[in-house]
């Protein structure tokens, strides 16, 4: 299903799907079923536990190095309000055969936010990833990103087509779904509204994170609450600004410049899809349409899964990444 043949009804479905992704967590911040839980007495089961071989900063971005000294490097970039804890299974799966560089962006997972006067957080993170590749002399690394991290992967691959060996994006796209036909001014207006929907009070922000994880993030409510405790450690203002940056962004004109192959993982959950009115194959086709222009794109659907597919279906996601790496 290409965008040029999409019916008006299907466009509305896509827009509604995008609205759910972009705004659902914030509109539900005061939902009765999403109270702010007290911190769990037991250690959080998703907290990062793997000790890195090295920890350093590049352009304000925290980098943790794991894994082998040889092999194709992997750069793992978490999404909005996330830290290295989203990649613990991935690190375990690939550490024996790849050097792994796990990034935590400024403002996320307890890291200090970038100075208010700095350039957009997304642009600064984009430059930091490129700096990491250059300073560490990484040879054709594969960037594995979730959501915002996947969008960063496309951006870096556009900027440095000869330096990037591949991009794996888990539910991250070059333009926010549903905004692909908007004028830049309309997209900017929506981005400003996004910033305003992110609570600045820590307790309210924690409620938003819990609502997001329960409705969009993952399938299991116990996992959702544990993940929300971790994502609530992020800076609310930084979270809102990154979200606005991505909403303002349209990387599609530069997709033709990417020299590396792309793997896009499209999560799918039938109960959510029943409300959105979109089939598994239609969603995958829509994602592929948004990447039209990139020379080599593969879209793999992973089900049942929500936005954090590597939490809902770690083995399926790891198998997809492993197959992609073997094809390079």
Rounded Cα–Cα distance for residues 202 and 232 (Å): 8
Rounded Cα–Cα distance for residues 223 and 213 (Å): 8
The arithmetic mean of pLDDT across residues 5-22, rounded, is 42
> Would you state the pLDDT for residue 117?
59
Examine residue 310 and state whether it is found in any structural domain, yes or no: yes
**Number of domains into which the chain is organized:** 1
Mean model confidence pLDDT for the chain: 88
At 138-196, the pLDDT tens digits run 999 999 999 999 999 999 999 999 999 999 999 999 999 989 999 989 988 888 888 87
> Does the pLDDT of residue 21 top 70, yes or no?
no
> Does the pLDDT of residue 18 top 70, yes or no?
no
At 205-217, the pLDDT tens digits run 999 999 999 999 9
Q: Within 10 A of 137 (CB to CB), how many other CB atoms are there?
A: 7
Residue with tokens 């490097």: 73
Structure-model confidence comparison of residues 303 and 7, the more confident one: 303
Examine residue 260 and state whether it is found in any structural domain, yes or no: yes
> Does the pLDDT of residue 230 top 50, yes or no?
yes
- Which distant-in-sequence residues (6+ apart) come within 8 Å of 275 by Cβ? none
At 30-63, the pLDDT tens digits run 443 444 454 445 789 999 889 999 999 999 999 9
DSSP string, 165-184: -EEEEES--SB-TT-TTS-H
Examine residue 194 and state whether it is found in any structural domain, yes or no: yes
Examine residue 271 and state whether it is found in any structural domain, yes or no: yes
Q: 13 lies in which domain range? A: 3-21+58-204+237-327
Examine residue 216 and state whether it is found in any structural domain, yes or no: no
Provide the CATH number for the domain around residue 88.
3.40.50.1820
pLDDT-derived band at 118 (thresholds 50, 70, 90) equals low
């Amino acid at each position: 299903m290409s965008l040029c043949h999409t019916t008006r009804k299907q466009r509305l479905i896509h827009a509604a799907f995008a609205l759910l992704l972009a705004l659902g967590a914030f509109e539900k911040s005061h939902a009765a079923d999403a109270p702010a839980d007290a911190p769990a007495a037991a250690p959080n089961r998703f907290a990062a536990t793997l000790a890195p071989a090295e920890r350093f900063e590049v352009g304000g971005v925290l980098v943790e190095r794991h894994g082998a000294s040889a092999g194709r490097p992997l750069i793992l970039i978490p999404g909005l309000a996330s830290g290295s804890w989203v990649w613990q299974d991935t690190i375990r799966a690939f550490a024996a055969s790849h050097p792994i560089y796990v990034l935590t962006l400024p403002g996320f997972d307890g890291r200090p936010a970038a100075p208010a006067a700095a350039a957009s957080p997304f642009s600064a993170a984009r430059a930091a990833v490129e700096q990491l590749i250059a300073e560490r002399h990484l040879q054709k690394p594969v960037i594995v990103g979730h959501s915002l991290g996947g969008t960063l992967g496309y951006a870096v691959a556009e900027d440095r087509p000869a330096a990037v060996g591949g991009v794996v994006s888990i539910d991250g796209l070059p333009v926010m779904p549903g905004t692909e036909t908007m004028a830049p001014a309309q997209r900017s207006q929506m981005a400003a509204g996004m910033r305003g929907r992110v609570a600045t009070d820590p307790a309210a922000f924690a409620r938003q994170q819990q609502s997001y994880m329960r409705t969009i993030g993952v399938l299991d409510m116990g996992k959702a609450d544990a993940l929300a405790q971790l994502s609530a450690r992020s800076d609310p203002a930084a979270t809102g600004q990154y979200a606005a940056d991505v909403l303002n962004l349209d990387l599609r004109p530069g997709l033709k410049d990417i020299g590396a192959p792309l793997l896009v993982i499209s999560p799918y959950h039938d109960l959510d899809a029943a409300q959105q009115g979109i089939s598994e194959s239609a969603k995958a086709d829509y994602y592929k349409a948004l990447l039209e222009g990139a020379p080599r794109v593969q879209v793999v659907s992973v089900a049942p899964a929500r936005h954090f597919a590597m939490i809902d279906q770690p083995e399926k996601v790891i198998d997809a990444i492993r197959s992609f790496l073997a094809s390079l």
